[in-house]
Structure 1
Amino acid sequence: MSLLVINARLITIPAGTDDPGYIERGWMLVEEGRIAGIGEGDAPETSADEVLDVDGAFVAPGFVSSHSHLFTSGLRGLGVADTLYGWCDSMLGFTSHMSAEDIYWSTLHGALDFLSNGVTTAYNFTDPLQAWESMVDGKRLGNAQMRALDYHTRQADGCADAGIRFVDSIGMDATVGTDDEIFERFGASVAHTRGLDQNLALGASIMGQVQWSPREDAAEIEVAAMRRFGVTNQAHFLESPEAVELQQSKFAMYRDAGALGPDMMFGHFIQTTPEIIEETAASGASMSWQPASNGRLASGVALVPEMIAMGMKVGMGLDDQACTDVSDPWQNMRLGIYMQRARTKEPESMMPELALRLHTLGGAEIMGVDDRVGSLEVGKFADFVVVDPRQPDMGPLWHPVRNYVLSSTLRNLTRVYVGGELVSDGGVSTNPLAAAASARIHNDLPAVAANFGHPH
């Protein structure tokens, strides 16, 4: 199948430059799910199967969320009066009672929600096999119940069935079993993900758990798995404003284990020191920034402009639907811009063009998938959004790319495409499982709550 998009305000986000690649009136040709041509003015003669005339709407890359928990889509509004760990108690305390089928439908619902909001690729942290338990003195005890392997694999299946592109982040649950058993279990999860459609399952990764693991050698076992299975690692790290000195002391665990490098990502990375930032940047490790989540959970503001100035790669993520409440990438970008400007009192510390790059190609870069997604360039997957600046009307587009970031809302998002295929039309999913996913979480999650008590 082929698709020709015409009369588009194209925002391409090309690699290797800070220029957003804006074309006032352009065209894009899609063949077999990938971008085959892109240009300015009238499109060349072609026998495309479909011509899409967007009549002056923006056409831009689908958003990339470099830090996400898609299984949380049915758990919005929990833990509103709490910071991170209290919120985890309410949200993950709920999922500890869910079955593999519950988590499948919740993940599917979350992935469809992302797609309908213009997010076409996600780094997806799966709910670990070991159920959540409250933090004690900055770490978990590590003795909570362990679930069967299908609790993970059904989450990967949910992403694939939704049609979102994803990197599957898997907990090692390193306090259960011998090291050989831990590697065998993790390897089985990785093998399942690698057996899915590789145009959707873009890779496997480790959900870094050093931050709260009771194992003193948790970093070493994660590094050993990175090398044995050829996977990346993203750790929730230095997020919460509690026990900051204890959190910071654990940075040495990753450093001494040899984890720092291009395959290592730190999610949130708020309670840092200049020395931690400098060492991380020098190693080639990166960070994922979740401004909406950081504000919702009162976690703080990461020093993103300083990190970028030191050469660190940064992506943006929407985190949980349960702690951003609306998985809106435009809201996420604006909150990030406003937080940084309020902190630095310097408007140029976070410009709209930079925020857009971080939420598209920047996220793809830190995830290691920028050869396939994150920008509109020939050879990449044709994942894009169509955003109409007249519905609602933004007025004159004095600075089109800046208007796109600062003035667009989900109401302006008219269509979302993955591989040149329409996946959301006017906010309504085209996936045949969408109605079932909605029905399942509305019926099944209250039934779970009824068995153990209403979450807080």
Structure 2
Amino acid sequence: MSMLVTNALLLTVPAGTDDPGLIADGWMLVEDGRIAAIGSGTPSATADEVLDVGGAFVAPGFVSSHSHLFTSGLRGLGVGETLYGWCDSMLGTTAHMTPDQMYWSTLHGALDFLSHGVTTAYNFTDPLQAWESMVEGRRVGDAGMRALSYHTRQADACLDAGIRFVDAIGMDATVGSDDEILDRFGASVAHTRTMDAAFALGASVMGQVQWSPREDAAWIEVEAMRRFGVTNQAHFLESPEAIPLQQAKFAQYRDAGALGPAMMFGHFIQTTPEIIEEAAAGGASMSWQPASNGRLASGTALVPEMLALGMKVGIGLDDQACTDVSDPWQNMRMGITMQRARTKDPLSMMPERVLRLHTLGAAEIMGVDDRVGSLEVGKLADFVVVDPRRPDVGPLWHPARSYVLSMTPRNLRGVYVGGVLVSADGVSTNPLAAEASARLHEELPALAARIGHPR
């Protein structure tokens, strides 16, 4: 099947530049789920279907380089808490959920991302080892373990939702011998690799050194990276508690040989100049979550300084339970305003830059930029149709800047994955959407009543 998108204001987001790649009066040909041609003016191609967007924006689907899709039914919890108190409230609830409940929660979250224009997500699955409260910024490590299906059902839900994803898997490195830990991790990776590779874009380690009581936790993560050929994203230097302890753990990653293109640091807020310089020099990247960093009072990462050192940066939406609305435009605007307020320099974060970081930049740090993140011939045809006249934002003096600064999900007319419509005016086309919603509304309140959560 083929589709010809016409009468579009294309934002292609090409590699190697903050230029948004604007093409007025643009068209795009999609064949067998991939972009076959792009041009301006009268199309030089025909197709089975013509989608005339009437002058609307057509842009890459957003990429979230840091997400927890299972949290979609847990919004509004721990509002008066920083990270660990919020985790006690939110993850204290998931600690009692079954694999089947995690499936439906993850499916609901993935469909929610798609309905907001996010077509690819780096997805941290809830680990097999249940949540436990932190002591001085670290876990005790003696919480109970769940069955392997607790992870695999979360991956299944991403696939069934139709979102493209990188599957981030916890090492659960305090339970069992090193061989048992690696074998368990490998079983989860093997499950992901049986899935349709057009959607399951890869597997990754959910780095947990920040919380682990093991002094060699970085070593076993690096061993998993090498043995299974996967990347690693660590929640690191996020919370304003126990900062010296957190900072001291950077040496674990450095000394274990983790620093390199396969290593991502999520949040990376409570840094020092030396930590940033070492991470950048080693080739590690960073995922920035502006909305959740503000919601949890975590602070503001020094993103312009990291970029100036050549560090690659992507933007993620993080938990729906701490970003609340899966709105990538809100996320980009929060990033702009937080950096400008910090630096008192409007040039420190421009709209063109955050657009790149929430699309191709996020895909780059995830290692999937050869497939998603921009509108280029040969890439998967994941795109959004965004109408600046519904509601009308006025003249587009600088179209790409208006796209970032003035659009909201109300302007989002359609979301396409592989050239297939997956959400129209915010409503999912997935046949499982109604059941996912019904299950969350029925089962999560019943669970909360049983365990005395949430708060």
TM-score (normalizing by structure 2): 1.00
Matched residue of 1:211: which SS? Answer: coil
Query: What does residue range 227-238 of structure 1 map to in structure 2 within 5 Å?
Result: 227-238=226-237
How far 1:42 sits from its partner (Å)? 1.4
C-alpha distance in 2, partners of 1:394/1:212?
45
Alignment pair present for 1:53 and 2:61: no
Query: What does residue range 35-434 of structure 1 map to in structure 2 within 5 Å?
Result: 35-46=35-46, 48-434=47-433
How far 1:207 sits from its partner (Å)? 0.2
CA deviation digits over 1:50-72, x for unaligned, max 9? 10000100000000000000000
C-alpha distance in 1, partners of 2:138/2:397?
51
C-alpha distance in 1, partners of 2:221/2:143?
20
How far 1:403 sits from its partner (Å)? 0.2
% identical equivalent positions: 82
How far 1:255 sits from its partner (Å)? 0.3
**Contact 2:89–2:453 (8 Å) recurs in 1:** no
C-alpha distance in 1, partners of 2:90/2:127?
14
C-alpha distance in 2, partners of 1:251/1:16?
29
C-alpha distance in 2, partners of 1:336/1:17?
19
The answer for unaligned runs of 5 or more in structure 1 is none
C-alpha distance in 1, partners of 2:439/2:269?
36
CA deviation digits over 1:233-264, x for unaligned, max 9? 00000000111111100000000000000000
How far 1:454 sits from its partner (Å)? 2.8
User: In the alignment, residue 117 of structure 1 is paired with which amino acid?
Assistant: H
CA deviation digits over 1:422-441, x for unaligned, max 9? 00001000000000100011
C-alpha distance in 2, partners of 1:453/1:371?
47
CA deviation digits over 1:334-388, x for unaligned, max 9? 0000000000000000000000000000000000000000000000000000000
Matched residue of 2:43: which SS? Answer: coil
Matched residue of 2:359: which SS? Answer: helix
Alignment pair present for 1:441 and 2:440: yes
How far 1:20 sits from its partner (Å)? 0.9
C-alpha distance in 1, partners of 2:173/2:39?
50
How far 1:44 sits from its partner (Å)? 1.2
Matched residue of 1:301: which SS? Answer: coil
CA deviation digits over 1:192-248, x for unaligned, max 9? 000011100000000000000011110000000000000000000000011111110
* Pair 1:45–1:200, CA change in 2 (3 A): closer
Task: Give the aligned partner of residue 33 of structure 2.
Answer: 33
C-alpha distance in 2, partners of 1:137/1:303?
25
Question: Which aligned runs of 4 or more in structure 1 are off by greater than 4 angstroms?
Answer: none
Matched residue of 2:358: which SS? Answer: helix
How far 1:29 sits from its partner (Å)? 0.2
C-alpha distance in 2, partners of 1:10/1:35?
13
How far 1:21 sits from its partner (Å)? 0.3
CA deviation digits over 1:384-434, x for unaligned, max 9? 000000000010000000000000010000000000000000100000000
CA deviation digits over 1:144-189, x for unaligned, max 9? 0100000000000000000000000000100001111111110000
Matched residue of 1:371: which SS? Answer: coil
C-alpha distance in 2, partners of 1:17/1:447?
50
C-alpha distance in 1, partners of 2:282/2:43?
44
Alignment pair present for 1:4 and 2:4: yes
C-alpha distance in 2, partners of 1:49/1:445?
44
How far 1:16 sits from its partner (Å)? 2.3
Task: Give the aligned partner of residue 15 of structure 1.
Answer: 15
User: In the alignment, residue 150 of structure 1 is paired with which amino acid?
Assistant: S
For these two proteins, the number of residue pairs brought into alignment is 455
C-alpha distance in 2, partners of 1:45/1:32?
15
How far 1:87 sits from its partner (Å)? 0.2
C-alpha distance in 2, partners of 1:215/1:258?
17
How far 1:191 sits from its partner (Å)? 0.3
**Contact 2:29–2:45 (8 Å) recurs in 1:** no
CA deviation digits over 1:56-115, x for unaligned, max 9? 000000000000000000000000000000000000000000000000000000000000
C-alpha distance in 2, partners of 1:205/1:5?
35
C-alpha distance in 2, partners of 1:49/1:161?
26
How far 1:19 sits from its partner (Å)? 1.4
* Pair 1:111–1:56, CA change in 2 (3 A): same
Matched residue of 1:292: which SS? Answer: helix
C-alpha distance in 2, partners of 1:117/1:17?
25
How far 1:39 sits from its partner (Å)? 0.7
How far 1:18 sits from its partner (Å)? 2.4
C-alpha distance in 2, partners of 1:116/1:202?
20
How far 1:45 sits from its partner (Å)? 3.7
User: In the alignment, residue 40 of structure 1 is paired with which amino acid?
Assistant: S
Measured on the aligned residues, the alpha-carbon RMSD in Å equals: 0.5
C-alpha distance in 1, partners of 2:449/2:345?
50
How far 1:17 sits from its partner (Å)? 2.5
How far 1:24 sits from its partner (Å)? 1.3
Task: Give the aligned partner of residue 450 of structure 2.
Answer: 451
CA deviation digits over 1:97-152, x for unaligned, max 9? 00000000000000000000000000000000000000012210100010000000
User: In the alignment, residue 309 of structure 1 is paired with which amino acid?
Assistant: A
User: In the alignment, residue 363 of structure 1 is paired with which amino acid?
Assistant: A
User: In the alignment, residue 202 of structure 2 is paired with which amino acid?
Assistant: G
C-alpha distance in 1, partners of 2:70/2:374?
26
User: In the alignment, residue 380 of structure 1 is paired with which amino acid?
Assistant: K
